[in-house]
Structure 1
Amino acid sequence: MSRNMLNGAQVIVDYLIQEKVPQVFGLCGHGNIQFIDALYERSQEIKTISVHHESVAGFMADVYYRVSGKPTATFTSCGPGSANLPISLANAFLDSVPFMAITGNVPTSQFNRGAFQEMYRHYQADFPSTVRTMCKKVFQPTRGEMVPLAVRQAWKTMITGRPGPVVVDVPFDVFMETAAEEAPRATEWNANISSRCGADPDGVEKAVDMLLSAERPVMLVGQGVRYGGAADELRKLAERLQIPVAASASGLGALDVNHPLALGLVARAGHYQANHAARQADVLLALGVRFDDRTSSSWIPGYSFTIPPTKLIHVDIDPEEIGRNYPVALGLMADVRTFLRQVHAELDRRDNLFKKSDARKKWLAQIDGYRKEWDKFVAPGFSDDTTPINPQRAAAEIDKALPEDAIIVSDIGVHHNWLLGFCKPKRPDSLIGSMGFGPMGFGVAGVMGAKFAAPDRPCVSVCGDGAFFMHANVLGTAVEYNLPVVWVVWNNYAYASIRGLQRGYLGGRELATDFKHPETGERYNPDFAAMARSCGVEGVRVNRAGDLGEAIRKGIAANRPYLIDVDIAADVNPAGAGVWELPGLGQSKAGIGTRFQPG
């Protein structure tokens, strides 16, 4: 290689540095050692974080973006190394989270020869086929000179339009081949591209007309508001027009849940005031929402929504989501923040914004009544002092113990539903969870990505015992990089959310969903606190609800990796105002209220 030329690996690393990527997360293998060597050369400018399982790298990159708003990258080797990554790729893809996955592959001279770790039986070096459905696009440069084009196009694809992960799959020799005299200049290629497109001006006028004429309007917010940076514009519009705001699980926290116009969660286990208002709305403005089955009570009318007769205004950056599950009175492809700014500008030009003020006051008074009914319904759980700990009480104690700037990264399981119901996120990134793909381990590993993104904020993972045991290797990573994160292990000795389905839909025929000692039949799990201590992490056990808050405060104050193993009751499931259907098995029952029948 001539002195002034960069090889493929050096081009990629230089481009990441230009894009101000502070660190990459990954795991070594023979297929990416030349890429790691390029990172070594620039180690003063970009950090390398080594993990103990490739999916952990992906989850860390995912949550890093959700907190910082800035994409990063992962690196994995060929064969099983990169094959461990798709679970976190798919998670990011379905939740519209960008990161660049740099995967190694076998040398091009060995394509289709069945070299060690080559996927070749259908097509040569065919890792791209493995992940094509799990990312926005796969790039596979097969010559060094193709790398500059691949890396700059991959970055643009990742961040424009509806964001999502991309894969740059690089054969071993291409990392080493001469590629270019310099990497593409990020400031020229991508810095000046904006995909924050606005809505059709006529559509904005129509949307404003519909909102001003509505008597029972509701705004429904999703991830497009939280990660689109539109929280301030949302709050101002809600206050300006006195429109209550409900949230999908992905949107909870976009408006401080303590705000008087915040309704809380619309979902199968949603808050009564949120579900009951949304299903009675005459106009529903949906902002960056997918209307998935959990939000929509399996699309059964009258539980979450009643569309029609509710007139739906659906705004989304991705036109594929508009009209996917509900007919629209008005569908607008737009960036949510840009759209809300357009609405404010249109309102500035209008007179008589309060022609429906009496109807709005009546509507908000009705909703206050629904809120009181919900508060009465859930009140007993807040004072339950039984052991194992009542899960509602546990969620409330966790919420009370955390400072306002704390970040909860929830894993997947029944605990996630309890957190959504009874934690009160005040900021868009106060409560982070996986909403589309739902892989166990997301919160166990992702909390470390949150800490890299926000080193001065408390970062807490609330994770089930099943998920933590799957990814306990994170303890070593936290110690190696001195990450003061707290894991609260929601230990109910079961895959309790699935056991609940067996009980609810299959007549209690339980199998493979709880953890028992083979000799005694008693509840069994490893001693997670002792496991943590064996790794150099402080570990404690909590058996009483009254001790949980103090344990969390101590864990945060310790300023070192900390694990709290909490004994949680497994036989209580969250009840809400919606339902969920498993086709062929039936649907659940609403815990409060009845199905709304319009007319």
Structure 2
Amino acid sequence: MAERKGGEIIADFLVREKIPYVFGICGHGNVGLIDCLYEVRDDVKLVSPRHEQTAVHMADGFFRVSHQPAATMTSTGPGSANQIMALAVAQTDSSAVFSITANVPTSQFNRGPFQELNQHHQADFNNVIKPVVKRSFQPTRVEMLPLALRQAATTMTTGRAGPVNLDIPYNLFQESADVQEEPAWDGFNKRRSGASLDDVNKVADWLADAERPVIFIGHGVTLSEAGEELTALAHKLGVPVISSPNGMGCIDMSDPLSLGFIGRNGAYQANQAGRHADLVLAIGARFDDRSASSWKPGYSWNFPHTKLVHVDVDHSELGRNYPPDLAILADAKAFLQQLLAEIDRRGGGDAGRLKGWQTQIAGWRKEWLDFVQPGFETHSTPIRPERIVADCRKVLPDDAIISLDSGIHHNWFMQFWEARRPRSMLNTWGYSGMGFGPSAILGAKLAAPDKVCVSICGDGGFTMVPHVLCTAVEYNIPVVWVVWNNFAWGAIRDLQYAYFGGREYGTAFYEGPNQTPYNPDFAAWARAAGVAGHTVTRSQDFAGVLAEAVASNRPALIDVHVDADIRPPATGAWEIPPVPPKEPVFGGPWRP
């Protein structure tokens, strides 16, 4: 027992919990904590971006790449409220973030002091943040801090990872008490739950009997670091793999057994395999509307005609959208290790048994490649979207990390990017928050300083968080931003064109009564911030400029003018009820 300040207790816990970064912004509410963080600055580095949303996205990106949680720190009131969207992104995509927010001092609870929310309860920020975190803790005495810290860390990385919040009245940072320290948790991926042996045997039986099986993987496989086991299973049995965006790279997407993404903007062979499969083994995947063609039978999947095994570490996902024939509550890696052991016990599988199924899929893949290949080879001004994807694939090394924002550029990369490694494609998938990509890439680079880190982001999304340029310069974080400049909220403008008679309103960026396309000069904006700025309007120039930016090893931005009138070819469906979805541009639904 020793008398210690609350801020010291928090700072020491971050060290013992092996949290290497605090991303946050100062305020009157957290100056007491910042003073304590100064004492541990060699172990826990403070990085201060110019907006709290970006702080959380940086922590999110850091975790997705390193699988090591980082902390965020915000002051009372608006600073903490600015986190909400970014925490929602982290929660829906299962990213562990240790959010520390300051609140008004306990002596002023319910008196309406500066920045208190008290309409329904004193110091009521918990009710603002609760929907976007796994749990919000509000210790009100220094003696409560050790337990709250340990419970928050436990909650953050137990089961399905996610953000947690400690909302701390700021007097606690400076007040002292005699406290007993709680042990650190440091628990991510160190305590795994497995499946029952009966269920493992049943899955092995069903895989052996299936004629057209597929494996569908999501972020759970990435989080569980189960790429090696997944690839081994696919190769032992010859079963093709369909990936959600956050699962991409768990099997090298140049592997013939990798079919890519499924859904409206998926690859044709993935949708065809999903439609025709007789068994789907889903591991760590949610069957959200975009990867299930809004659950319309025959467009991506054909449940219940197709048998479904659903494996997930989160019980609430089992049966949420499709009732499985077999539901297994288990960690992805633990389950795959169990299944591989059972297959080895039976003789190691038969990779050649599914040759006919693989040949059929190869035919669908060829049809798709023949259809899309011309766009990848065409040079034009403005630049065809396919050229951007193709040149990124050509220039960036296999272990490069890319981040993608919400927007039409994301649809193109979902459909055509080939992730070669796990944790190399960062997506704002569940909540689709703009600003994630340009911000998260900063955290990704801090997590992997030896990797090339590139943000491909829309012009609209980048304009929401241009201050990321300042952070890159201040902290010498050499990332590259590729701004997909189509002078519009392109994805939404395309919906207007498709569903509302071809009218456009409020989705294009115009200047003046002549409706001249308008955007700021992004390259000049970058140079003003101290970042290398480039503008590319010819497809022949992009690969060279990208290679130059990567090789410079300094922050760089490339403003790429992209043809806004070329759209990703839909191979599935996506519904905005009650408007009926468009039929696929290539291929079509199949029903039993």
Q: TM-score range by the shorter chain?
A: over 0.9
Q: How does 1:438-449 map to 2 (within 5 A)?
A: 438-449=432-443
3-state DSSP of counterpart to 2:100? strand
The alpha carbon displacement at 1:365 in A equals: 0.6
1:59 to 57, 64, 70: 57
Residue in structure 2 matched with residue 367 of structure 1 by the alignment: 361
Matched, 1:431 2:429: no
Please tell me the residue identity of whatever aligns with 1:137: R
User: SS state of the match for residue 152, structure 1?
Assistant: helix
- How far does the alpha carbon of each residue in 1:273-327 deviate from its partner, in whole angstroms, 9 at most, with x for none? 1110111111100010000000000000111100121100000001110111112
* CA distance, structure 2, for counterparts of residue 343 and residue 352 of structure 1: 11
- Give the 3-state SS of the residue equivalent to 1:294 in structure 2: helix
* 8 Å CA contact retained: 2:277, 2:306: yes
1:469 aligned residue (463, 471, 476): 463
Closer/same/farther in 2, CA of residues 353 and 394 from structure 1, 3 Å limit: closer
Taking a change above 3 Å as real, the CA distance of residues 398 and 190 of structure 1, as seen in their structure-2 partners, is closer
Q: How does 1:53-452 map to 2 (within 5 A)?
A: 53-181=51-179, 183-186=181-184, 189=185, 194-351=190-347, 353-354=349-350, 357-358=352-353, 360-452=354-446
Give the match for residue 559 of structure 1: 553
CA distance in 1, matches of 2:80, 2:348: 59
Distance 2:48 2:361 in 1: 50
Cross-structure match for 1:39: 37
- Conserved 8 A contact 2:189-2:224: no
Q: Does 1:571 align with 2:578?
A: no
Which piece of structure 1 moves more, 253-262 or 100-109? Answer: 253-262
What amino acid is aligned across from residue 333 of structure 1 in structure 2? L
Equivalent residues of 1:89, 1:135 under 8 A apart: yes
Q: Tell me which of 21, 26, 29 is aligned to 2:19.
A: 21
The answer to whether the Cα contact below 8 Å between 1:6 and 1:182 also exists between their aligned partners in 2 is no
Change (3 A) 1:50 1:192: closer
Letter in 1 for 2:216: L
Q: Deviations over 1:388-433 (max 9, x none)?
A: 1111121111221111121001111000011111221101122111
Q: In structure 2, what is the Cα distance between the partners aligned to 1:561 and 1:192?
A: 32
Work out the CA distance in 1 between the residues paired with 2:290 and 2:361: 22
Conservation of the 8 A alpha-carbon contact between 1:11 and 1:180: no
Instruction: Kindly provide the amino acid, as one letter, of the partner of residue 35 in structure 2.
Output: D
Secondary structure at the aligned position of 2:517 is classed as coil
Work out whether residues 532 and 563 of structure 1, in 8 Å CA contact, stay in contact via their aligned partners in 2: yes
How far, CA to CA, are the matches of 1:16 and 1:542 in structure 2?
Answer: 44
Indicate if the aligned counterparts of 2:52 and 2:74 stay in contact, CA closer than 8 A. yes
In the aligned structure 2, how far is the partner of 1:123 from the partner of 1:281? Answer: 53
Q: Does structure 1 residue 585 correspond to structure 2 residue 583?
A: no
What amino acid maps onto 2:399 in structure 1? D
Alpha-carbon distance in structure 2 between the residues aligned to 1:429 and 1:531:
30
Counterpart secondary structure, 2:228: helix
Q: Deviations over 1:28-59 (max 9, x none)?
A: 11011111111112112211001100000000
Question: TM-score, length-normalised on structure 2?
Answer: 0.98
The secondary structure found in structure 1 opposite 2:102 is: strand
Letter in 2 for 1:508: G
Q: What SS does the aligned partner of 2:231 have?
A: helix
1:192 and 1:86 map into 2 onto residues whose CA distance is 24
Q: Do residues 483 (structure 1) and 486 (structure 2) align? A: no
Deviation at 1:228, TM superposition (A): 1.1
Deviations 1:175-203 (A, max 9, x none): 122144563231xx555994410011111
Structure 2: how far apart are the matches of 1:17 and 1:588?
53
SS in 2 for 1:225: helix
SS of the residue 1:250 aligns to: helix
- Give the deviation of 1:577 after TM superposition: 1.5
Shift in CA distance, 58/550, structure 1 to aligned 2, threshold 3 Å:
same
The 3-state SS of whatever aligns with 1:501 is helix
Runs of at least 5 residues in structure 1 that lack an aligned partner in the other structure = none
Inter-CA distance 149–271: structure 2 relative to 1 (3 Å threshold): same
Query: 1:463, CA displacement in angstroms?
Result: 0.5
CA contact (8 A) 1:148 1:180 kept: no
What is the DSSP-based 3-state SS (H/G/I as helix, E as strand, rest coil) of the residue aligned with 2:530? Answer: coil
Please report the TM-score for the alignment, with normalisation by the length of structure 1: 0.97
- Paired with 1:236 and 1:443, the residues of 2 have a C-alpha distance of 31
Cα distance in structure 2, aligned partners of 1:241 and 1:180: 60
Whether 1:518 and 2:509 are equivalent positions in the alignment is no
Report the secondary structure of 1:587's partner residue.
coil
Structure 1 residue ranges (4+ consecutive) displaced by more than 6 angstroms after TM superposition: none
**Residues 12 and 183, structure 1, Cα contact 8 Å, conserved in 2:** no
Q: Over residues 440-470 of structure 1, what are the superposed CA-to-partner deviations in whole Å (9 max), with x where a residue is unaligned?
A: 0000101100010000111000000011111
Residues matched between the structures, number: 592
The alpha-carbon distance between structure 1 residues 237 and 595, as it changes in their structure 2 partners (threshold 3 A), is same
Contact kept in structure 2, 1:65 and 1:72, CA below 8 Å: yes
The alpha carbon displacement at 1:519 in A equals: 3.9
Do the aligned residues in 1 keep the contact of 2:265 with 2:412 (CA within 8 Å)?
no
Identity across the alignment (%): 50
CA contact (8 A) 1:146 1:179 kept: no
Tell me the amino acid that sits aligned with residue 389 of structure 1: I
Question: For 1:5, what is the secondary structure of its paired residue?
Answer: strand
**Match of residue 448 from structure 2:** 454
Contact 2:103/2:168 (CA < 8 Å) preserved in 1? yes
Q: CA deviation at 1:549?
A: 1.0
What SS does the corresponding residue of 1:582 show, helix, strand or coil?
coil
- 1: CA distance between counterparts of 2:471 and 2:260? 36
Shift of residue 520, structure 1, vs aligned partner = 3.2
Q: Match of 1:504?
A: 498
| Pairwise CA distance, 1:151 | 0.4
Q: Is 2:236–2:348's contact at 8 Å kept on the other side of the alignment?
A: no
Partners of 2:178 and 2:96 in 1: how far apart? 26
The 2-side partners of 1:87 and 1:567 are apart by: 29
Letter in 1 for 2:98: M
3-state SS of 2:509 partner? coil
Query: How far apart are residue 576 of structure 1 and its match?
Result: 3.0
Spell out, residue by residue over 1:181-240, the C-alpha distance to the aligned partner (whole angstroms, 9 max, x if none): 563231xx5559944100111111101100011011100111011121000000000000
Separation in 1, partners of 2:271, 2:32: 54
- CA–CA separation in structure 1 for the residues paired with 2:355 and 2:342: 23
- Aligned to 2:536, which of 526, 531, 542? 542
